Structure 1
Amino acid sequence: MSLLNRLGLSVPLIQAPMAGVSTPELAAAVSEQGALGSIGVGATDANGARAMIEATRARTNKAFNVNLFVHGAATADAVREAAWLDWLTPVFAEFEARPPSALRTIYKSLSDDPDMVTMLLEMAPRVVSFHFGLPSFEIIAALHDRDIVLMATATNLDEARAIEDAGIDVIVAQGIEAGGHRGMFDPVAADDALGTIALTRLLVLETKRPVIAAGGIMDGAGIAAVLDLGAVAAQLGTAFIACPESAADDGYRAALTGPGAHHTSLTSLISGRPARALANRFTGLAAAIGNRRPPDYPIAYDVGKALNAAAKAKGEYGFGAQWAGQGAPLARAMPAAELVQLLRTELQRCRNAV
């Protein structure tokens, strides 16, 4: 049985699980239209994740995806963290604030969160996906025993082969164009920076798992293009940020329609891991970073969030984690259901034109 049939999808489309932006309302609206909605729970604990799953189920009985982070353990470095805080102190002072006195590891990896695993096994969402790496074989087997479809992100062939060897059902091919965090298993390893087209075709030919293409896809023509490469579906994230159901704040939405949308960049400044964001005041700090290195993910995110909060309190939205892909200028603001319907129409038009 194909992936689409197994999940009851009538549109080969997955809404990307953007932690902090995707909401139960957004995921449910997408799923109700025959695509696969997603919620990102990597930035919350088991209780918060349970609440998001319950809220999504209250709005739809269709399949949706629950995405989790499986990052390696952060290495605390007091000297490096103190230097990072000192560097950012003048920026905080601009907003009459001070940085935190110390930094915390604010997110748990699924590999270190037995409560999250227990919750997933109890709630048994139809789809669970992994970003930044893979959990243990024991966790994978337990989730499969609950008849959960498993997906994981790959940015290169080696990661895709590891996903296949682990028994994961579906590979998400994340091209360099994609917004948000790179799904690299090792954030300090050399990145071949493969684009969505090259990576998708490579994984279709070199692996035996269904491949979902992600990165820079914003409309039906983009979906049609990756389907022609052999992908079974396309994953779109930036396309849904402007939907009213997303949790993007007013500054994020305004930035998406501004000049920064044409100049996205990969940065580790905000969270400690490479992530593609709209050009804003935070990403602009890269010009003065010198040889400094941010603390490990997610330790760096602790001060990044504090700086954003201090700036927003003074009316400055340029220090948010405004994740977006290279297709950002093509974003269209409309309700999620309407966007899925439009994408379906555009895809069908492309197919009819062949």
Structure 2
Amino acid sequence: MSFDRLGLTLPLLQAPMAGVSTPAMAAEIGKAGGLGAIALGASDTAAASAMIAETRTRTDRPFNVNLFVHAPPRRDPVVEADWCAALRPAFAAKGAEPPRELRAIYPSFAGDDAMLAMLIAARPAVVSFHFGLPDAARIAALKAAGCLLLASVTSLAEAQAAVRAGIDMLVAQGYEAGGHRGVFDPDTPDDRLGTLALTRLLAVRSGRPVIAAGGIMDGAGVSAALSLGAVAAQLGTAFIACPESAADAAYRAALMGEGAAHTVMTRVISGRPARCLPNRFTALGEAITARVPDYPVAYDAGKALNAAARARGEHGFGAQWAGQGAPLARAMPAADLVWLIAGEMRR
């Protein structure tokens, strides 16, 4: 399947945001002429299948399903115990205890045969990967099922690896982007390329169509990405405030608050670098010197701390991901926002 066969009337993709994007959001963006997305990385096979089915009841338009392809976490009982000890005072302030044992809560698609079988049967129009690439056999199987394959990359080296693997299109994730960095190996040096530089570099050097992502919030941003050689732009933070989003009231309020202008990159919430609105958890992380366990083991502790805080009415420990364009967020229905962006592009 080629990108043209998706039938988009606007070169706009909605970012697949785990915990935020929904089948309703994907359907509304498809209705408006863009490509909607659902995030399966935090779901097991049954939940992922149900999400695909629900999206198909809402729209006959193509949509993107996104998977996490992270390396298996390195389990170190000492590191994990030290991390829980470092978080213990924050738990105690909420009348709770850290987990006795941390879990790797999200499986990687790299070894998830049940998820692969479900996708081959479901045949979604677009499948995208974050944190890395699946093996050749999985890529070949998805291509044989007719899926267009996308991968997030943050450097030319990652883009070249994706091209060699047979990925059809590259999502150029600039350092401005909200949520988790798509770096294949979070422990190697990150050149922190911005969206502008990375998009242009890949448009000239990668040999694949490029989708620009990171800090893009409106029609001017989409047009700028196209002028750099991208075939489309991917927007995530722009849709968090839409009513179709699964973001809770506290997340929405933080997005519309002063902190939107001061996003931070942090590992402490999940174990991988991710851009977040500043909150109690990011401030806590700045004071902790203990080594953060690998993703998604650290996320088990982070989610437990957030749950303990929410039980006390405190919402400052959530994963409130957002990109550097956050102050430009607009609260309106997703389809209306897409149509508004299209008008801004024409102007």
- TM bucket, shorter chain: over 0.9
Aligned counterpart, 1:238: 237
Residue 26 of structure 1 corresponds to 25
Q: Which amino acid aligns with 1:320?
A: G
In structure 1, the residue matched to 2:168 is: 169
Corresponding letter in the other structure for 2:6: L
Equivalent in the alignment of 1:195: 194
1:320 to 318, 321, 328: 318
- Give the corresponding residue for 2:342: 344
What is residue 279 of structure 2 aligned with on the other side? 280
Say which SS state the counterpart of residue 339 (structure 1) adopts.
helix
Q: Secondary structure at the match of 2:247?
A: coil
Residue aligning to 2:295: 297
Q: Which residue of 1 aligns with 2:214?
A: 215
Partners of 1:200 and 1:85 in 2: CA distance: 39
- Alpha-carbon separation, structure 1, partners of 2:2 and 2:304: 45
| Structure 1 Cα separation of the partners of residues 275 and 335 of structure 2 | 26
Q: In the alignment, is the contact (CA less than 8 A) between 2:16 and 2:65 conserved in 1?
A: yes
Residue in structure 1 matching 2:332, options 331, 334, 347:
334
1:101 deviates by 0.6
Tell me the amino acid that sits aligned with residue 42 of structure 2. A
Whole-angstrom distance in 2 between the partners of 1:273 and 1:238? 19
What's the secondary structure of 1:342's corresponding residue? helix
Code of the aligned partner of 1:295:
P
Aligned partner of residue 10 in structure 1, secondary structure? coil
One-letter code aligned to 2:47: G
For structure 1, the residue ranges without an aligned partner over 5 or more in a row are 350-354
Q: 1:65-76 residue pairs with structure 2 within 5 A?
A: 65-76=64-75
SS, match of residue 251 in structure 2: helix
- Structure 2 Cα separation of the partners of residues 105 and 112 of structure 1: 14
**After superposition, where does 1:37-48 map in structure 2 within 5 Å?**
37-48=36-47
Moved over 4 A (4+): none
Residues 244-263 of structure 1 aligned to structure 2 (within 5 Å) = 244-263=243-262
Cα shift at 1:2: 6.0
Alpha carbons 2:2, 2:148 under 8 Å: kept: no
AA aligned to 1:200 is: T
Q: Name the CA distance, whole Å, in 1 between partners of 2:263 and 2:34.
A: 27
* Alpha-carbon distance between aligned partners in 1 of 2:5 and 2:230, rounded to the nearest angstrom: 16
Partner Cα separation in structure 1 for residue 189 and residue 304 of structure 2: 30
State the Cα distance separating 1:104 from its structure 2 match.
Answer: 0.3
Q: 1:141 to 1:7 in 2, by over 3 A?
A: same
Q: CA deviation at 1:207?
A: 1.2
**Where does residue 83 of structure 1 map in the other structure?**
82
| Offset from partner CA, 1:273-323 (integer Å, 9 cap, x none) | 000000111111133112x21110000000100111111111111100000
Please report how far the alpha carbon of residue 67 of structure 1 lies from its aligned counterpart in structure 2 after TM superposition.
Answer: 0.2
- In the superposition, the TM-score normalised over structure 1's length comes to 0.97
- Mapped to 2, the partners of 1:123 and 1:159 lie a distance apart of 28
Instruction: Please say if 1:60 is aligned against 2:62.
Output: no
The code of the aligned residue for 1:314 comes to R
CA distance in 2, matches of 1:287, 1:344: 40
SS in 2 for 1:201: helix
Per-residue Cα deviation, 1:214-262 (whole angstroms, up to 9, x for no partner): 0000000000000000000000000000001110011100000111111
Indicate the residue corresponding to 1:136 in structure 2: 135
Partner of 1:306: 304
| Aligned Cα root-mean-square deviation (Å) | 0.8
Distance 1:128 1:2, change over 3 A: closer
Q: How many residues were matched structurally?
A: 347
Distance 1:44 1:294 in 2: 23
Distance in 2, matches of 1:275 and 1:226, equals 22
**AA partner of residue 312 (structure 2):** K
Q: Secondary structure at the match of 1:58?
A: helix
What amino acid maps onto 1:180 in structure 2? G
* Aligned residue type for 2:65: V
Alignment deviations for residues 78-136 of structure 1 (CA, whole Å, 9 cap, x no partner): 01100110111110111111111110000010011100000000001000000000001
* CA pair 347-2 structure 1, distance change in 2 beyond 3 A: farther
Q: Does 1:270 align with 2:238?
A: no
Q: Which amino acid aligns with 2:171?
A: V
* Aligned match of 1:352: none
Distance 1:313 1:250 in 2: 15
**Partners in 1 of 2:40 and 2:91 — Cα distance?**
29
User: How big is each residue's C-alpha offset from its partner over 1:127-171, in whole Å with a ceiling of 9 and x where there is no partner?
Assistant: 000000000101001100011000001000000000111111000
Aligned: 1:150 with 2:121 = no
**Partner SS for 2:124:** coil
TM-score scaled by structure 2? 0.99
CA separation in 2, counterparts of 1:285 and 1:90?
10
Counterpart-to-counterpart distance in 2, 1:99 and 1:132? 27
Identity %: 64
Mapped partners of 2:206, 2:281: distance in 1: 38
CA distance in structure 1 between the partners assigned to 2:295 and 2:198 by the alignment: 25
